[in-house]
């Protein structure tokens, strides 16, 4: 987690993201393994290094470093949208109960 360098910058940017399902339903425990795998796949694909990932039944903690050119909103949008699509494809009957 030390300083990283590029041509004209030295940086150490770390983000701690926390989010929860709609209405804070405790629905993440049954899909935790596939959700973790999805997070890892997305972060590998986009070049984000996961320093810490914790999934509770009703919320997610994700801690990762990023280059300053990546806005936090861009990271969250990318990670949440792709993992949500994958979870709906894999667990649609289960997730429909909570709509």
Reduce the DSSP state of residue 61 to 3 states and report it: strand
pLDDT tens by residue, 14-27: 999 999 999 999 99
Residue 96 CA to residue 51 CA, distance in Å, equals 31
Residue 46 CA to residue 26 CA, distance in Å, equals 28
What confidence score (pLDDT) does residue 1 get?
Answer: 65
The neighbouring-strand residues paired with 18 are 61
Structure tokens given for 24? 């804070």
User: Does 3.30.70.1290 match the CATH number of domain 12-96?
Assistant: yes
pTM, entire model: 0.89
pLDDT tens by residue, 23-40: 999 999 999 999 999 999
Locus of tokens 């936090």: 72
Residue 42 predicted with pLDDT over 90:
yes
Domain ranges of the chain: 12-96
94 in Cβ contact with 49 (< 8 Å): no
- Rounded to the nearest integer, the mean pLDDT of the chain is 95
């Amino acid at each position: 987690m030390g300083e990283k360098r590029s041509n004209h910058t030295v940086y150490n940017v770390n983000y701690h993201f926390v989010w929860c399902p709609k209405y804070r339903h405790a629905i993440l425990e049954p899909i935790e393994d596939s959700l973790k795998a999805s997070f890892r796949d997305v972060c590998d694909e986009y070049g984000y290094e996961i320093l810490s990932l914790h999934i509770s039944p009703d919320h997610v903690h994700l801690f990762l470093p990023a280059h300053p050119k990546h806005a936090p909103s861009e990271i969250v949008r990318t990670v949440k949208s792709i993992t949500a699509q994958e979870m709906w494809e894999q667990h649609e009957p289960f997730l429909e109960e909570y709509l």
